[in-house]
Amino acid sequence: MLNSSSYFSLNGQFITDNLPLNLLNDRGLAYGHGLFESILLNDSRLGLIDRHLARLCEGAKILSIPLDSSLVLKFINLFIDQLHAASVTDGVVKIIVTAGEGGRGYQSPADIKPTIICSYSNLPAGFSDYRAQPLSVRYCQHRLSDNQALAGIKHLNRLDQIMARNEWNCGRYQEGLMFSASDHLLEAISANVLVKNRAGDWLTPDLKRAGIKGVMRSVMIEEIFPACNIAISIAEVSGDQLAQCQVLLLCNSVKGLASVGSLYDGQNQLVKSLPIDQQTLMLYQKLIELYPQYK
């Protein structure tokens, strides 16, 4: 069932009332010193939880946040139990992990005690449209920040995505494509991209310098493409390659796999229309065979 209320837990405690004052000193709020995961909750089960936890721990290591993954999982499971008791079985569970309380100054405290927040929300608006019909997407003007040390992980510094998403306000586009300063395609605002180029080869952008390595991206590369016997490589994708592509797919662990039908530039001019090809249907069939929650 769907439920419109929000639910929260803080460090394993279900919160229905007030929060402790020290949250105003949290390094997540002060500096974005933390990470998050948005996980699909389907019939009280969390999809791809192992991959989400693995990415969370990898990010925590890079940000020097000591994180006990079994404790995080325990808190998540407690949260799911409490949602279930409230008859909430479907939606999105978001986990935020921060470096916890830390006074003034950038230096991390010697003894970091992470803050672990679980929150629930309904499936996003437009969710059913996203999978059911080809999407309209546009190019974003805002460029992703270039930084090798922070690329790949899902940290809390997300001004790039906010700047890009604020470029349009109408309901005409379901997603925006984001580029590097050197005009290479990197990802969509809330999804990774899979491109079938003019020659018929599948590519997904190299995210060494910027972008988030999505959980669904790894499922596609490691499981779905191989199971369909279709090769895919990680490579740079230039703006020209994008404009000449045969197929463009978006993938996201909450929304699943979607195909782009119309590509618009930053001035709302149609760049091209894209068909749904046979390989896309194969990939989609294999995905929902292995992960029926993405049907």
Alpha-carbon distance 8 to 11, whole Å? 10
Task: State in angstroms the smallest separation of the CB of 63 from a second copy.
Answer: 7
How far CA 214 is from CA of 6, 71, 190, 223, 268, in Å, comes to 25, 23, 9, 14, 27
Kindly state whether residue 36 participates in binding a second copy, applying the rule CB under 8 A.
yes
Which residue lies nearer to a second copy by CB, 15 or 227? 15
CA dihedral (135, 145, 231, 245) positive or negative: positive
Q: Rounded to the nearest whole angstrom, what is the least distance from the CB of residue 16 to a second copy in the complex? A: 8
- Where in 67-126 is the site for a second copy (CB under 8 A)? 92, 94, 96, 98, 103-108, 117, 119, 121, 124
The 3-state DSSP class for residue 46 equals strand
* Residue ranges in 155-174 that form contacts with a second copy under rule CB under 8 A: 155-166
* Residue in the block written with tokens 């194969």: 282
Binder to a second copy among 3, 12, 14, 15 (CB under 8 A)? Answer: 15
Residue 16, C-beta contacts closer than 8 angstroms, at least 6 positions apart: none
Q: Considering beta carbons, is residue 2 or 199 the nearer one to a second copy?
A: 2
Both tokens of residue 236? 């740079």
Smallest distance from a second copy to CB 242, Å: 21
For residue 132, give the H/E element and its range: helix 127-132
Select the residue interacting with a second copy from 46, 49, 63, 283 (CB under 8 A). Answer: 63
- Site size toward a second copy (CB under 8 A) is 63
Residue among 94, 211, 106, 92 at smallest CA distance from 157: 211
Smallest distance from the beta carbon of 164 to a second copy, in angstroms? 8
Angstrom distance (rounded) from CA 226 to CA 74 = 33
Q: Which is nearer to a second copy, 124 or 261 (CB)?
A: 124
Of 113, 137, 149, nearest to 20 by C-alpha is 113
Q: How far is the CB of 123 from a second copy (least distance, A)?
A: 9
* Nearest by Cα to 40 from 155, 131, 144, 156: 131
Q: Which is nearer to a second copy, 140 or 242 (CB)?
A: 140
CA–CA distance, 23 with 235 (Å, rounded to integer): 41
Give the residue with the Cβ less far from a second copy, 14 or 279. Answer: 14
For residue 265, state whether it binds a second copy (rule: CB under 8 A): no
Contact flags string 122-141 toward a second copy, x per CB under 8 A: --x-----------------
Burial state string for 53-84 with b = 16 or more CB within 10 A and e = fewer than 16: bebbbebbeebebebeeeebeebbeebbeebe
In the complex, minimum distance from the CB of residue 54 to a second copy, in angstroms, rounded to a whole number: 20
**Binding marks (x or -) toward a second copy, 192..231, rule CB under 8 A?**
----------------------------------------
Kindly list the residues in this chain that would bind a second copy in the complex (CB under 8 A).
6, 8, 10, 15-21, 23-33, 36, 38, 63-64, 92, 94, 96, 98, 103-108, 117, 119, 121, 124, 142-150, 155-166, 181, 189-190
